[in-house]
Amino acid sequence: MGALSISRGLAQASAQSDRSHRLSQRAQRDLRELQVELDETARRVGTSRGEYGRLLGDLELAQDQLTQARAAIGRLSQRIAELESVLGLDSIAGGGCDPSYPDVCIPEGAEDHDCAGGSGDPPFIEGPLTVLPPDPHGLDGDDNDGVGCEWG
């Protein structure tokens, strides 16, 4: 396999990984919205069973889509790691990036980053993105729901 083919394969795998991350984020957002809607419906007295059943079906579909997106991300991450190994590169996913932000690479110990569209100073991060504790840049805001820069 030539270096150009490997490089092209790495670029395609990275692009597919980005698309899968966006799909996963969209599915997570949809899932959270459906869960809120389901909770509100369940609290209402006299809600029709048909509406409740429809919401349950939508919730199950969103969960399935999220599971599929996560599986695709795992396969793509493995493929990227294989290509990086062939090319002798340091891992893109583990190359000194802060583990609190698995969707983007913010170097560990980097200066403060803020969400695009917010009131902070550059550098800016486009969202939404997954945020894991401890969230040193405070991108998850005050709701601590694991999604940062939600308005981005």
pLDDT digits (tens, 9 = 90+) for 114-139: 888 877 778 888 888 999 989 999 99
Q: Is the confidence at residue 1, as pLDDT, over 60?
A: no
For residue 90, what pLDDT is reported? 53
Over residues 12-41, the mean pLDDT reads 80
Q: Is the confidence at residue 152, as pLDDT, over 60?
A: no
pLDDT digits (tens, 9 = 90+) for 31-45: 888 878 777 776 664
Q: Is 149 exposed, middle or buried (0-12, 13-18, 19+ CB in 10 A)?
A: buried
Q: Is the confidence at residue 104, as pLDDT, over 60?
A: yes
67 Cβ contact partners less than 8 Å away, ≥ 6 residues apart: none
Q: Taking Cα atoms as reference points, which of 24, 31, 22 lies closest to residue 62?
A: 31
Binned at pLDDT 50, 70 and 90, residue 2 comes out as low
Binned at pLDDT 50, 70 and 90, residue 93 comes out as very low
For residue 95, what pLDDT is reported? 55
For residue 112, what pLDDT is reported? 86
Binned at pLDDT 50, 70 and 90, residue 30 comes out as confident
Q: Taking Cα atoms as reference points, which of 59, 64, 56 lies closest to residue 24?
A: 64
CATH hierarchy code of domain 3-87 = 1.10.287
For residue 7, what pLDDT is reported? 65
Name the DSSP class of 44.
S
pLDDT digits (tens, 9 = 90+) for 48-60: 666 777 777 888 8
Over residues 9-26, the mean pLDDT reads 77
Any idea where the domains of the chain sit in the sequence? Answer: 3-87, 97-152
Q: Report the 10 Å Cβ neighbour count for 147.
A: 19
Instruction: Give the rounded percent of residues in the chain with a pLDDT score beyond 70.
Output: 78
